[in-house]
Structure 1
Amino acid sequence: MSAVPRDGLPAATVADLYRAACLAELDALKPGNVHGYAPGHRMVTADFVTSADVSAPFLAEPGARVGHRVRGGVEATIAAVGQNTNLGILLLCAPLACAAERLGPLVEALNAVLATFDASDSSDVFAAIRRANPGGLGRAERHDVGAEGPVPPLRAAMAEAAPRDRIARAYTDGFGDLFAIGLPALREARRQGLAPPWTTTAVHLAYLTDVPDSHIARKHGPGRAEAVRAAARARLAGIDLAAAPVEALLAYDRELKEAGLNPGTSADFTVATLFLDALLSARGEAA
């Protein structure tokens, strides 16, 4: 990452790049998830297009704190489509959007954002999670989002959830998965000459095969999530995305959906990877 100071991006640019990342993710064939090739889990791509449009102004609101961006985006989404389609996306993209406004290298700005949460961030993020009510959320012994009483510091709550949730972990490790899994997969896909949407599919498959999906773990348990990851790695070994293997991936897509398995966290990280890559490019920084 470049050490040369960079200018912050204007809100309109951040909003446009966020929408573009959301739409690009929908265009890619992502086994088990919602995409342009097939609906799934009682959701269709139109819901996600609308969600991107209505949440973008909140996600990119100049000077807004992370919690405000997440809560505003979730509330606007549910008002527009009547269900949670993008809580994970907003949780990952809001710190990136906040960092993109700042001067200096983006990774340094992101770390500063993650280190400076205040009570309003905690209150707003907890409210957004309760409003979205993601599937399989369950209860936690400490820092439970549904519990009454004072809201814990956001970083502490995320640290508590980090062992079981990759998005929470991102708040504690500087969004490590984006830099260790997502961006390298995107670079390699481009090196191989893949064009969108197959570069996006490559990113999604990297997450699906490298780490157990948190959404699957919440709904079906960590053992099932790990089994899905291992099976995906075996099933997809050697697949040639340059050959546009639509039928093979759609067959796997049907299997996952028929089993009620949705690797939604892998999809959320895919959007965040595309968004981060676009922000870096717009700021003139190397990915």
Structure 2
Amino acid sequence: MIPEHVPGLTLNNGVRIPQLGFGVFQIPEEGTREAVESALEAGYRHIDTAAAYRNEAGVGAAVAASGIPREALFITTKLRNGDQGRARAAFEESRAALGVEQIDLYLIHWPVPSQGLFLRAWKDLEGIYSDGLARAIGVSNFLPAHLEELTRDADVPPAVNQIELHPTFAQRALADATRRHGMAVEAYSPLGQGEDLDNDAVIGIARRHAATPAQVVLAWHLASGNIAIPKSVTPERIRENLEAVNLALTPQEMEQINELDAGRRLGADPATAAFSQY
């Protein structure tokens, strides 16, 4: 179930995902419950966490306290890099921390090609999916070469590739490759960790619409067909970000934002990233 005011996308297995969600990256465990409760109260129904964030229990506590029917929520979590050789056990740990019977979307967090384990991990995810414990499975930070290797071996095609994506790092080639494989593109750091909000073009568009720069960038993501998971711990900004669903940009404004792409990555490079996340 997706609230009427939030657009949704249909994944390649028929599951619907709210296109605008709430991320909890770098929110400390002790502050996660409050932040997620604010998001749920504002109207978000898609919450994105990860084992590596060490705040799954806080997400679960907020969900349990909300009184919102479980079927009305969409919960994503991710497999730690250091757990690619024990994905099934790691999934069960995440499920217990979240306090849910079923996870809506479970992702391999990074390919870590130097480990040579993501194909093995994917087979475990396929088993989790076939057992009905996850409604959809996918990947995060996979580059075109990783996608090619995975999809050649996969029995269940990944539903999502979650990648760093924002106006100054639009990753068009990777987004196009993701969609060619039938996968949805999900953007993390969708606001460029706040840096893209200071751009003159974004500020000018925001003024014309009496909107915030964040709403403009999120509206650009939605119109581009991306799933976006902005993060904030400020209740007012949490509410403001969700209101981006009501903002329609003109084709000219979309092009203005498209032209901001500078190939400026903020996070790690998936081709070489090799941290365990412990």
TM-score calculated relative to the size of structure 1? 0.34
Structure possessing the higher relative contact order (Cα contacts under 8 Å, 6 or more residues apart):
1
- Which structure carries more helix by proportion? 1
- Which structure carries more strand by proportion? 2
TM-score calculated relative to the size of structure 2? 0.35
